[in-house]
């Protein structure tokens, strides 16, 4: 039986039992009836009062059902750009066949007697909202108590369900999630105008690598980015570089949450210190540092990193529910702007899924990671292992040792859920020690963007200095596309599809070339 349907069946069975959420335990539910009347009366007296109230209240926030109907009628009038007063509200209720349900025109008129002005409408509306949230907490607590008494309840499922319901109160009633198209258009145009006026092109969290940011424009909110490679290629080192660059960015410092399921927090910090101070990792790990190296470690490493907003969690076998709970708290408390997970295949699902197919479990984890990125509106970078299929392929001149989407380990759902898939490739890892020109390619690292939902597919060339756990921009004169070093510029498009181009270097004799026929390969 499908696990999703199984969970739904269990919840339905629990709901069919005694619903403790409707019990008030001998007490009257929190309410502010007088203030509800005052707010509705003020709206009908002052034409600007509705705009103040609607930013805070929704119809369900009112305790009295008649007041809910009246507020909906006011919303309807506002949508039609009609004035909101005693006569128009009564007429709108009559049109909806709800006038008698609220107590007739007399009751609508009576509401205006409860207030003389709209001066304090926002304060009154917030009190009504507080009472509503209290009622919601009572309802949710009752449902949690009822579920907790069920023997068939999975405790991790219950914890996640409880946290989701509490978080939903914040999302639904303290923030306005639903927006009309016209309001979204206004925000979008404003964002475009803001970007036009900015000098920098990065719109998301900066990676710290100019060539990579040129393609991605930074890590974008709500995106799930998968960074995959074979073991020992440098996934963790590269991810730590991304985290360090984000928190230490001069233009846009961003708090980062790093979840390491493989290495301890101490080991990660050693790597970060090595990259920042540029002291060999081996020396830091063994503690074999000279006096000048200790001074360098303090000056360039410890002092600079001590105030960096990087939060590290090294819980082993972290499951998706624990991750989600921790990320929500970090977002609320520290406003994290980037989440990094090292690595995806070490995560576990719920206890119910432990006997299921591992591929299904990884699929569920990847779906939840994408949902979490969207819920918290932050980018999530999840590291992933590759299958051995890369090893079985021969190198060949076409470079087919470069990882492909089909090499993602254990689940094709990772490819489907991700907004971006990046592969790390180092030729020397496959014992390829020279490039096509016969030159040494030691440290040469390629970041291949194999999937990019909102951008182009390109391969970025970096230089890996793994002895200090650091990646830097490659300064070689390689042909990789826009942003080439030196004075190179494109002069033609070979196949006419905007892809492969012929490049010449300005200020040289190659400027004399007039067309593609003059170039021989």
Which residue in 14, 24, 25 sits closest to 149, CA to CA?
Answer: 14
The token pair that represents 252 in the structure block: 């846009």
The total of other beta-carbon atoms located within 10 Å of residue 48's CB is 9
Which residue in 460, 455, 431 sits closest to 445, CA to CA?
Answer: 460
3-state secondary structure labels for all residues of 275-334: HHHCCCHHHHHHCCCCHHHHHHHHHHHHHHHCCCCEEEECCCCCEHHHHHHHHHHHHHHH
Could you report how far apart the first and last alpha carbons of the chain are, in Å?
Answer: 61
Please report how many Cα atoms fall inside a 13 Å half-sphere around the Cα of residue 163, on the Cβ side.
15
Q: Phi/psi class of residue 218: alpha, beta or left (left: φ > 0; alpha: ψ in -120 to 50)?
A: left
Which residue in 371, 369, 374, 327 sits closest to 345, CA to CA?
Answer: 369
**473 neighbors 210 (Cβ within 8 angstroms):** yes
- Residue 374's alpha-carbon distances to 203, 344, 368, 405, 418, in angstroms, are 17, 18, 10, 23, 12
Looking only at the bridges linking them, the beta strands covering 256-260 and 338-342 are parallel
Q: Phi/psi class of residue 393: alpha, beta or left (left: φ > 0; alpha: ψ in -120 to 50)?
A: beta
Q: Which long-range contacts (CB under 8 A, 24 or more apart) does 156-165 make?
A: 156/319, 156/321, 156/350, 156/351, 157/7, 157/321, 157/350, 157/352, 159/321, 159/325, 160/321, 160/324, 160/325, 163/324, 163/325, 163/328, 165/140
Looking only at the bridges linking them, the beta strands covering 420-425 and 444-452 are antiparallel
Active-site amino acid positions: 262
**219 neighbors 381 (Cβ within 8 angstroms):** yes
The token pair that represents 51 in the structure block: 């705009």
Residues 6+ apart with CB under 8 A from 309: 247, 253, 254, 255, 256, 334, 336
- Whose tokens are 């991790």? That residue is 156
- Rounded (5°) CA angle 473-478-483: 60
The answer to whether the Cα torsion of 160, 162, 167, 169 is positive or negative is positive
């Amino acid at each position: 039986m499908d696990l999703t349907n199984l969970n739904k069946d269990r919840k339905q069975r629990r709901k069919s039992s005694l619903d403790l959420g409707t019990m008030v335990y001998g007490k009257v539910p929190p309410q502010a009836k007088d203030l509800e009347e005052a707010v509705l009366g003020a709206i009908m007296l002052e034409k600007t009062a509705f705009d103040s109230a609607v930013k805070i209240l929704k119809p369900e926030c009112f305790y009295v059902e008649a007041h809910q109907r009246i507020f909906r009628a006011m919303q309807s009038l506002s949508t039609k750009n009609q004035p909101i007063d005693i006569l128009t509200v009564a007429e709108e209720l009559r049109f909806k066949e709800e006038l008698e349900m609220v107590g007739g025109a007399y009751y609508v008129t009576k509401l205006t007697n409860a207030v003389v002005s709209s001066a304090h409408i926002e304060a009154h509306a917030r009190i009504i909202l507080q009472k509503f949230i209290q009622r919601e907490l009572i309802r949710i607590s009752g449902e949690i108590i009822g579920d907790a008494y069920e023997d068939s309840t999975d405790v991790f499922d219950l914890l996640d369900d409880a946290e989701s319901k509490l978080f939903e109160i914040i999302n639904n009633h303290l923030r306005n999630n639903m927006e009309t198209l016209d309001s979204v258009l206004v925000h979008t145009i404003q964002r475009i105008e803001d970007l036009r006026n900015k000098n920098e092109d990065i719109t998301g969290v900066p990676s710290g690598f100019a060539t990579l940011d040129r393609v991605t424009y930074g890590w974008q909110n709500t995106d799930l980015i998968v960074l995959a490679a074979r073991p020992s290629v440098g996934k963790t080192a590269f991810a730590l570089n991304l985290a360090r660059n984000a928190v230490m960015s001069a233009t846009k410092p961003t708090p980062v949450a790093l979840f390491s399921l493989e290495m301890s927090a101490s080991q990660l910090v050693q790597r970060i210190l090595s990259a920042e101070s540029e002291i060999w990792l081996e020396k830091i790990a063994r503690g074999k540092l000279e006096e000048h190296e200790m001074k360098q470690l303090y000056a360039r490493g410890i002092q600079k990193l001590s105030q960096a907003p990087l939060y590290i969690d090294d819980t082993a076998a972290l499951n998706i529910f624990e991750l989600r709970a921790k990320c929500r708290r970090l977002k609320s408390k520290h406003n994290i702007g980037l989440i990094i997970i090292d690595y995806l295949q070490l995560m576990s699902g719920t206890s119910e899924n432990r006997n299921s197919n591992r591929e299904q479990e990884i699929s569920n984890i990847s779906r939840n990671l994408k949902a979490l990125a969207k819920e918290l509106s932050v980018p999530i970078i999840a590291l992933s292992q590759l299958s051995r299929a890369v090893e079985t392929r021969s190198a060949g001149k076409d470079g087919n040792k470069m990882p492909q989407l089909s090499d993602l380990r254990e689940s094709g759902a990772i490819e489907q859920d991700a907004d971006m898939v990046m592969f790390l490739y180092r030729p020397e890892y496959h014992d390829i020690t020279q490039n096509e020109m016969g030159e040494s390619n030691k440290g040469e690292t390629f970041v291949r963007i194999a999937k990019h939902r909102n951008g182009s597919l390109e391969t970025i060339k970096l230089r890996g200095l793994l002895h200090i756990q650091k990646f830097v921009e490659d300064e070689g004169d390689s042909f990789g596309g826009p942003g080439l070093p030196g004075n190179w510029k494109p002069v033609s498009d070979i196949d006419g599809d905007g892809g492969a181009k012929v490049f010449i270097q300005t200020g040289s004799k190659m400027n004399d070339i007039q067309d593609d026929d003059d170039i021989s390969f």
